[in-house]
Amino acid sequence: MSDRTSATPRGIDPRGPRFAAGITSLLLLVAVFLTLTGLSTAYGPDGWALSNAPVAERMSTPGFLLLAVIALLFLWGVLSPRTAPWGVLYRKVVAPRLAPPTDLEDPRPPRFAQGVGLFVVGIGLVLHLLGVPWALPVTAAMAFIAAFLNAAFGVCLGCMLYLLLQRTGLVGRARPSAA
């Protein structure tokens, strides 16, 4: 039976999502720095600079622009993980130089984790546009922590959330019970 017709999704190399999380965490670290030194956290004599800035100025800050790109990368990872840039880079450049993986991983939890990253970063982008100070650096830092934990220690918070939601029956198919 081919992988395309089997009931369970094809497995993926678990090192691929960790590689992607490493690159994402570096981008998010830069974004945290840019948001901390930009309009998001500036306070002046008239109050929060972000609240007094027009929307066009809020959208043009470097931290906002980088987080918007990161959000698009998260969206790409959700909609088409096979063509997402970090996955392609891993499969074409890194994986051929490594030994084959000893076991494969269900692709659904890492894909769900990409959606969680998109949600967190998206909330920060929307709140920033609405003029909420500190929203962008806080959400960027939250996403950084999650990506760093995955990259450095293999702890995928989004994957854990997926498995918790799967156990409660809110996402995915329930696993067949052992008889």
Question: For the chain, how long is the longest CA-to-CA vector?
Answer: 69
Q: pLDDT tens digits, residue range 96-121?
A: 999 999 999 999 999 999 999 999 99
pLDDT at 8 over 60: no
User: Is 112 inside a domain boundary?
Assistant: yes
69 located within any domain: yes
CA separation for the pair 60, 161 (Å, rounded):
33
Please give the pLDDT value at position 10: 79
135-147 pLDDT tens trace: 999 999 999 999 9
How many structural domains does the chain have? 1
**Tens digit of pLDDT for each residue in 146-178?**
999 999 999 999 999 999 999 998 987 655 555
Task: Establish if 174 belongs to a structural domain.
Answer: no
What pTM did the predictor assign? 0.88
- Is residue 148 assigned to a domain? yes
Residue 179: per-residue pLDDT: 45
Contacts of 120 (CB under 8 A, 6+ apart): 139, 142, 143, 146
Residue 173 covered by a domain: no
Residue 9 lies in a domain: no
For residue 7, is it within any domain? no
Whether 177 is in a domain gets the answer no
Residue reference for tokens 């929203």: 135
Q: What residue numbers bound the domain in which 157 lies?
A: 15-97+105-167
Look at residue 68 and tell me whether its pLDDT is greater than 90: yes
Question: Exposed (0-12), middle (13-18) or buried (19+): which is 27, by Cβ within 10 Å?
Answer: buried
**Res 175: pLDDT:** 53
C-alpha 119: how far from chain center:
8
Q: Rounded mean pLDDT of 49-58?
A: 94
Mean predicted lDDT score pLDDT of the chain: 91
